[in-house]
A and B are shown apart, each in its own frame.
Chain A
Amino acid sequence: MESEECLIKVNEIGKYFDLTKSFISKFFLGRRILKAVDRVSFRIKKGETLGLVGESGCGKSTVARLITRLIRPTFGEVSFKGIDLFGLSGKEMRLMRKHVQMIFQDPFTSLNPRKRIETIIGMPMEIHYQMRGREKRQRVLELLQMVGMGADHIDRYPHEFSGGQRQRLAIARSLALNPDLILCDEPVSALDVSIQAQILNLFRKLQDELGLTYLFISHDLSVVEHISNDVAVMYAGKIVEFAPTTEIFASPLHPYTQALIASRFGDRKEREKYSMKGEIISPINPPGGCRFQGRCPQYYGKCSEIEPELRDLGNGHYVACFRKDLES
């Protein structure tokens, strides 16, 4: 996936967890490897949004945590503004986090309940710029205003705010260091519909004003369709399809994407046409071949033999599937 102005290029990153408990169980049961993220690649252009969708347990949050190196990658490389994040030392990475920030799903657990808003939002500036006192307070006020909160909120505690307001505060904190990239891990999933719309508008506004780049992780297809320029669909640790948003929603090619879109937007007939059997496979010691083989309505012999790779079908539409009509 080559392109000029990419802010971030993720190249074949992976995270394997070794669940083998002891030497003895290894002897009797063999190694148990959980392939949470397996050779995932994508890129995001500057100022754009990539939507990462998939069902729970497919590894989408792990991807975000790998990029910020909150967990240690097993392999791969992430090139951010030309710098390989996985090659940095711990100290260098800490400095790098100024440019890459993260917003979490649950605003009730991501803000320290014992600190005032000024401390919570000011902390990153204190750590990275040694900003203190009036200067810090001034900047916190600016940030609060930017996310649509009042100046009188600065001395309060998180419990005094509703879910939507807390998510605004979390966004303000992520903006404190003027980052280029924000990784948003299900940032609107815990919110009510009317509040969700307000927060989505805020993301848009901030992107327009500050030229931010987002990796937007969500399981909600309508939200992803609204906010993203490109969409990557993950299944059991792998990206199965990647395309511009309008393209992927108009003509999804991977049977999994088709089933997802039909189950959200389709009528009963469409759902039956694209329906998947069974449930998501366990990523522990996955079988050879395609990970989707057990549920796929278009399965045939080749799928269990070789693992399909993402390939370009032109106009930026990538798919990892051996569907017969795509083969020729």
Chain B
Amino acid sequence: MNDYLLSIRNLVTEFTLKKGVLRAVDQVSFDLRKGETFGLVGESGCGKSVTALSILRLNPSPPAQTTGSILFEGEDLLLKSIPEIRNIRGRKISMIFQEPMTSLNPALTIERQICETIRLHQKLGKKEAREKAIDLLDLVSIPSPQERLKSYPHEFSGGMRQRVMIAIALSCNPSLLLADEPTTALDVSIQAQFLDLLNELMERLKMSLIYITHDLFVISQICKDVAVMYASNIVEQTSTSELFRKPLHPYTQGLLKSIPNRKEKKRFLDPIKGMVCSLLPPPAGCKFHPRCADAMEICSREKPHLVEVEPGHLVSCHLFP
């Protein structure tokens, strides 16, 4: 039990809005071992990004309120003071975001931006920080790093900017990296390059990774374990290979059927009917029941719990009591 790097239990994040209380993350629990990669997959608004932001306590509070426990290296992040959590952000846990252009400051050279993080957390001189920055750019395969340090973000292409973002994220050798849709804004070929680079870095640096995406294909490329989220709950959690081989939750099955299948070509796809439910207020019972083809009477009454159906395969559905 103690070899977990990160252990999240009953995480609830709520936003108090004028219209009521919106529960964006509802009773989410999962564990992550050192050096492993964990994927959070789901459609927009399902709470996957808020989960990551909750880990770093980046949700604006108020209106956000987070309860539960997030044990990182044995200590609860939710109990830390602001200076303590600041010391963890960027040093032990760092994050890369979806849109590299808006996460970099357009008015500063990337040297300033990389060195800022390094010098904030490590006692290094200007020169040493600069050398470290060059090493980092080299690590993320940016050609001629020495010259590129003086460049501004607009002088980089999207793929290169995302590499600069990883360089900043890796600058203090964090033990956990949170990646929030880092390849969504990139073209397919650049995306593949980026994923190969990330895979290589994970192996080399023995880091743990939480990878957030809506793209099941990307999950299959990079994650060992995966949790599928729907309307702020985890509905299914297992190893990636198992998820693709034998999806159990009707929502996961629907998602997989929504992607055109290369092997058995059909004229019409078999999508999930309807659309994502409102969370203000959420439907009673299982939140997926209004869209579920297998819905039973109990589904609209009682909320299912995440239970281990097979070893290592957790599902939250009344079909699997």
* Chain A residues near B (Cβ < 8 Å): 55-56, 162, 164-165, 192-198, 200-201, 204-205, 219, 221-223, 225-226, 249, 259-260, 262-265, 268, 271, 275-276, 279-280
Contacts and interface: CB of A to CB of B under 8 A. Distances in A.
B224 to A, nearest CB: 15
A192 B43 CA distance: 6
Contacts of A223: 260
Contacts of A192: 43-44, 214, 276
Given A194-B254, A201-B271, A271-B192, 15 more contacts: A192-B214, A194-B271, A195-B275, A197-B269, A197-B272, A198-B271, A198-B273, A221-B188, A222-B262, A225-B262, A226-B269, A260-B189, A264-B217, A279-B159, A279-B190
Contact of A55 (B187, B196, B255): B187
A196 B188 contact: no
Contacts of B214: 192-193
8 contacts: A192-B276, A194-B254, A197-B257, A222-B259, A264-B217, A279-B157, A279-B160, A279-B190
B268 A164 contact: no
A62 B190 CA distance: 22
A225 B191 contact: no
Contacts of A197: 257-259, 269-272
Interface of B: 43-44, 157, 159-160, 187-193, 196, 214, 216-217, 254-255, 257-260, 262, 265, 267-273, 275-276
Contacts of B265: 226
A158 to B, nearest CB: 16
B260 A260 contact: no
Contact of B189 (A165, A198, A201, A263): A263
Contacts of B43: 192-195
A195 B255 CA distance: 10
Contacts of A201: 268-269, 271
A56 B260 contact: no
Contacts of B190: 55, 279
Nearest to A276: B189
Nearest to B192: A263
A51 to B, nearest CB: 12
Contacts of A259: 189
A198 B268 CA distance: 9
A222 B260 contact: yes
Contacts of A205: 268
Given A201-B268, A204-B268, A193 B259 contact: yes
B295 to A, nearest CB: 16
A263 B272 CA distance: 28
B45 to A, nearest CB: 9
A56 B276 CA distance: 29
Given A164-B275, A201-B269, A271-B196, A193 B258 contact: yes
A194 B188 contact: no
A229 B96 CA distance: 39
A263 B188 contact: yes
A249 B265 CA distance: 13
Contacts of A221: 188
Contacts of A226: 260, 265, 269
Contacts of A204: 267-268
A168 B269 CA distance: 17
Contacts of A162: 275-276
Contacts of A271: 192, 196
A268 B43 CA distance: 26
Contacts of B272: 194, 197
Given A193-B259, A225-B262, A200 B269 contact: yes
A319 to B, nearest CB: 18
CB-CB nearest 8 A-B residue pairs: A197-B271, A263-B192, A226-B260, A197-B258, A55-B187, A192-B43, A197-B269, A194-B272
| Most interface-central of A165, A192, A276 (chain B CB within 10 A) | A192
Contact of A56 (B187, B193, B217, B254): B187
Nearest to B215: A193
Contact of B188 (A200, A264, A279): A264
A107 to B, nearest CB: 13
Contacts of B258: 193-194, 196-197
A196 B258 CA distance: 8
B160 to A, nearest CB: 8
Contacts of B255: 193-194
Nearest to A190: B44
Nearest to B221: A268
A185 to B, nearest CB: 16
A268 B200 CA distance: 12
Contacts of B159: 279
Nearest to A193: B258
A204 B187 CA distance: 26
B271 to A, nearest CB: 3
Nearest to A163: B44
A264 B190 CA distance: 11
Contacts of B44: 192
B188 A260 contact: yes
B260 A225 contact: yes
Nearest to B187: A55
A280 B217 CA distance: 23
| Most interface-central of A219, A249, A271 (chain B CB within 10 A) | A271
Nearest to A278: B143
Nearest to A162: B275
